[in-house]
Structure 1
Amino acid sequence: MRTLPVPTDPVARLWHSATMLREHRADGHIAALLAADIDGTEAHVLSAIDMGIHPPESFGRVQHLPPSRLAAVMAGLRSRGLVDADGHFTDAGRETKQRIETLTDELAAPPYDALSPAELDELITALEPITARLVATGSQ
């Protein structure tokens, strides 16, 4: 995204900027997952548990995987003490998930830290109507 020219059209410029911020956050999230020794499938299972999807193997992002693969992932998470026998977080699993999210937030902060308080207020004010519209339509 950084190699692409910044669009001049305001909507395209907003889209481009939002994409850059989203990709920056995603890169930090991957780094946080790697630091916690969580692979991609495990990350989806932990997200499913966090969202209250039970059993977590029914989550749309993993349900297509072979049952033997899902069983191995769940067994691995259980053996590491992150998930209990019923497919719910253990205390350690909940703490690991929170640590990943906290580190993701910390790694995502620098672009916003570069803004002055007035610029950050302006950004929040400009985005609030868009956010409200998205929330009203059920977007997350």
Structure 2
Amino acid sequence: MTKSTAPVTETEAQDADFKPLTAQEAHQWRQRNPPISVWRIVGCQALVGIAVALLAWLVSGKPHVAWSAAYGALAVVIPAALFARGMARQRASAGAVLVGLMGWELVKIAMTVAMLAAASRLVPELSWLALLVGMVVTMKTYWIALIVRPGVRKPVDI
């Protein structure tokens, strides 16, 4: 009797070709891809939020539009800073860190929703459009911060 095996899928073939990095290769990878501080990203978001508020004021000429855009930015920056602080204090096993990640993400979302719900009472003459623009532009800043982070050298294929 001969034992037959199932055909190898593409994923299984790729897994069979997997080779872990050596210590030197891992060191080189870390040199090309240094970690970025989460506080740098939060700081970039705050700066972009200020810029969006100033731009809203310059374009509209109305202070309440600028305050609306600034509040939208704050609805992103304050919960992100709280999330970053909570995650930075985690010193536990991988499972506990994952639970902490989910917990802090829920806190961040709840705080953002609460800030948005309170916006009409806290910002006089609230402009929802300016608030949403400030919020979305500030929220998307972390992609730019990750792309243009200093020290990242992309490998050159010759």
TM-score normalised by L of structure 2: 0.34
Greater relative contact order (Cα 8 A, min sep 6): structure 1 or 2? 2
* Higher normalized helix content (fraction of residues): 2
- Which of these two proteins has the greater Rg computed from alpha carbons? 2
